[in-house]
């Protein structure tokens, strides 16, 4: 059995599909370049037929990246495949990822079809794609709930038709690890010609088993894993890249190697979290804030005597470098540039100057500036072209009194002001905002997160606001959490389709 495991990263496709995680093309290129430096083998760059933005991003990522294969998703539809091939034209190595649902419910309800017709459509799509590119991956959507005998027929047919990789997605995150392992083994035992293709896992985390299922698939012979940074993805997410790669590194006895430079894991995780406005849960394996924090006395004592008593991974192995994290008001442009470089962010001189200005302002308010602060600052000009901007905000609040806010907005160069009273400072500020922007909008979700630990810390606010039957996602970051909340609300409003 070949012991090299290919890492197929779908952060920019399955991950980016998550509401609120959308990136613009420049940000996607930034992530793609970080994935290249991390050492992934395949970058799934998008679903080109789905939107002009996705089409364009696949083109630009293809131009920007050299080593990884660039992959584009399609349905088993000729038009999709044509558009994907066109979007991939600049890729040095290209792959089309086409497929169709194979479970009973997909066949019956999604396609109103039957098993034989699905096989015909699958074969036709693979043959069509093979006329345009040499590397074609086929996905049997909902393979997790497809019976093994029929799945084996589909897999055999698409390999005969020229599929180079066959993806067995547990689309709904339903399988038990033992079931998923048995499924992959069944395919190896029953599909003629299976060794002509690479079998790939693609697991979702609805029941918290994505990584376990992926590992079960690998132990059964799969040699590609489809993963995302921080496990982001539809619903409960996809298998996390950092988990699979560190499992294989920690269990070197399995003898399965990847091309991942594990020291780039943490900076890549921070970059993706920051650009996608998707916080990483503190107890997330490998990249969570507490992943290496020993808090109980017994554990601290053990770690001080010998770190291996409670730590199976050295944090440096995943790129956590405590000594280099903190910058202060005395740090110069070069130190900032260097730190951004370590975090995978490269800025031109003009942008660096802007970020440095903001850095100095923040350093005035906050003693130590950490990696998360820097990443927020580097992304801060995302609101530069916004039509509506916060001009000023003053809030008075306290115990036993109602909060009062006065707020000014700049809307396309024109100034507006309003005051309001509310139940707490955020409520007062948002009421004042709504006096100026008089629309029927409802706050659906509101999360405040401190970036690290100090009371002078930057607060990040994620918001969802419903307007005209659509939910919009907004983000704000400020040392003043009331201002961050108003910024997040304004970020939502700027996205309204008016």
* Chain residues that interact with ligand KIV, rule: CB under 6 A: 14, 139, 141, 167, 169, 171, 202, 204
The residue with tokens 């990522």 is 61
Choice between 154 and 465, CB closer to Zn ion: 154
Q: Please tell me whether residue 225 adopts helix, strand or coil conformation.
A: strand
Instruction: Note the helical H segments in 236-345.
Output: 241-250, 265-275, 297-305, 333-342
Q: Please tell me whether residue 447 adopts helix, strand or coil conformation.
A: strand
Q: Whole-number minimum distance, CB 34 to Zn ion, in Å?
A: 21
Choice between 68 and 319, CB closer to ligand KIV: 68
Q: Whole-number minimum distance, CB 238 to Zn ion, in Å?
A: 6
End-to-end CA distance of the chain: 57
Under a CB-based contact definition with an 8 Å cutoff, are residues 63 and 89 in contact? no
Choice between 14 and 27, CB closer to Zn ion: 14
Q: Which residues pair with 12 in a beta bridge?
A: none
Q: Whole-number minimum distance, CB 292 to ligand KIV, in Å?
A: 31
Q: What's the Rg (C-alpha) of the chain?
A: 25
Choice between 232 and 433, CB closer to Zn ion: 232
Choice between 62 and 167, CB closer to Zn ion: 167
Q: Whole-number minimum distance, CB 171 to ligand KIV, in Å?
A: 4
Segment 1-40, which members bind Zn ion (CB under 5 A)? 14
Q: Whole-number minimum distance, CB 223 to Zn ion, in Å?
A: 19
- Residue number with the shortest CB distance to Zn ion? 14
> What b/e string do you get for 163-186 counting C-beta neighbours within 10 Å, with b at 16 or more?
bbbbbbbbbbbbbebebbbebbbb
Q: Whole-number minimum distance, CB 170 to ligand KIV, in Å?
A: 8
Choice between 202 and 284, CB closer to ligand KIV: 202
Q: How many CA atoms lie within 13 A of 428 on its CB side?
A: 22
Which of the choices Zn ion, ligand KIV, none does residue 28 contact, using the CB cut-off of 5 to 8 A by kind? Answer: none
Residue 372 interacts with Zn ion (CB under 5 A): yes or no = no
Which of the choices Zn ion, ligand KIV, none does residue 139 contact, using the CB cut-off of 5 to 8 A by kind? Answer: ligand KIV
Residue 137 interacts with Zn ion (CB under 5 A): yes or no = no
Which of the choices Zn ion, ligand KIV, none does residue 41 contact, using the CB cut-off of 5 to 8 A by kind? Answer: none
Q: Please tell me whether residue 95 adopts helix, strand or coil conformation.
A: strand
Q: Please tell me whether residue 124 adopts helix, strand or coil conformation.
A: helix
Q: Whole-number minimum distance, CB 456 to Zn ion, in Å?
A: 41
For 430, the token pair is 């948002």
Q: Please tell me whether residue 72 adopts helix, strand or coil conformation.
A: strand
Summarize as ranges the residues that interact with Zn ion (CB under 5 A): 14
């Amino acid at each position: 059995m070949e012991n090299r495991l290919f890492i197929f990263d779908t952060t920019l496709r399955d991950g980016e599909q998550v509401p609120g995680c959308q990136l613009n093309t420049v940000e996607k290129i930034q992530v793609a370049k970080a994935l290249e430096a991390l050492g992934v083998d395949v970058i799934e760059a998008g679903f080109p037929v789905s939107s002009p933005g996705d089409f364009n991003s696949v083109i630009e990522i293809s131009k920007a990246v050299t080593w990884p294969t660039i992959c584009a998703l399609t349905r088993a539809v000729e038009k999709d495949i044509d558009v994907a091939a066109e979007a991939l034209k600049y890729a040095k190595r290209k792959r089309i990822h086409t497929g169709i649902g194979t479970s009973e419910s997909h066949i019956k309800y999604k396609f109103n079809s039957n098993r034989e017709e699905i096989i015909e459509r699958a074969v036709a799509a693979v043959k069509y794609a093979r006329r345009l590119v040499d590397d074609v991956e086929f996905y049997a959507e909902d393979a997790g709930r497809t019976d093994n005998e029929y799945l084996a027929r589909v897999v055999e047919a698409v390999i005969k038709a020229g599929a180079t990789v066959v993806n067995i997605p547990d689309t709904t995150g339903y399988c038990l690890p033992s079931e998923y392992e048995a499924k992959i083994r069944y395919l190896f035992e029953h599909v003629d010609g299976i060794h002509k293709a690479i079998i790939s896992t693609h697991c979702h985390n609805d029941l918290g088993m994505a990584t376990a299922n992926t590992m079960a698939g690998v132990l059964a012979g799969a040699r590609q894993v489809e993963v995302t940074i921080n496990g982001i993805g539809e619903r409960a997410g996809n298998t996390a890249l950092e988990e699979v790669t560190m499992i294989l590194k920690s269990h070197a006895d399995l003898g399965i190697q990847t091309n991942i430079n594990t020291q780039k894991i943490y900076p890549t995780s921070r970059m993706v979290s920051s650009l996608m406005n998707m916080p990483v849960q503190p107890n997330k394996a490998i990249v969570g804030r507490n992943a290496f924090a020993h808090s109980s006395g017994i554990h601290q004592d053990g770690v001080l005597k010998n770190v291996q008593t409670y730590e199976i991974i050295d944090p440096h192995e995943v790129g956590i470098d405590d000594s280099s994290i903190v910058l202060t008001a005395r740090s110069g442009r070069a130190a900032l540039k260097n730190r951004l470089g370590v975090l995978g962010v490269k800025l031109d001189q003009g942008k660096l100057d802007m970020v440095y200005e903001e850095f100095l302002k923040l350093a005035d308010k906050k003693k130590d500036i950490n990696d998360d602060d820097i990443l927020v600052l580097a992304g801060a000009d995302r609101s530069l072209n916004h039509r509506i901007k916060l001009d000023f905000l003053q809030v008075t609040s306290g115990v036993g009194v109602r909060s009062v806010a006065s707020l000014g907005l700049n809307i396309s160069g024109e100034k507006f002001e309003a005051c309001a009273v509310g139940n707490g400072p955020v409520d007062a500020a948002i009421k004042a905002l709504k006096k100026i922007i008089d629309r029927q909008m409802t706050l659906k979700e509101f999360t405040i997160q401190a970036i690290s630990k100090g009371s002078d810390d930057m607060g990040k606010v994620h918001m969802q606001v419903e307007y005209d039957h659509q939910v919009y996602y907004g983000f704000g970051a400020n040392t003043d959490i009331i201002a961050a909340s108003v910024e997040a609300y304004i970020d939502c409003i700027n996205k309204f389709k008016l």
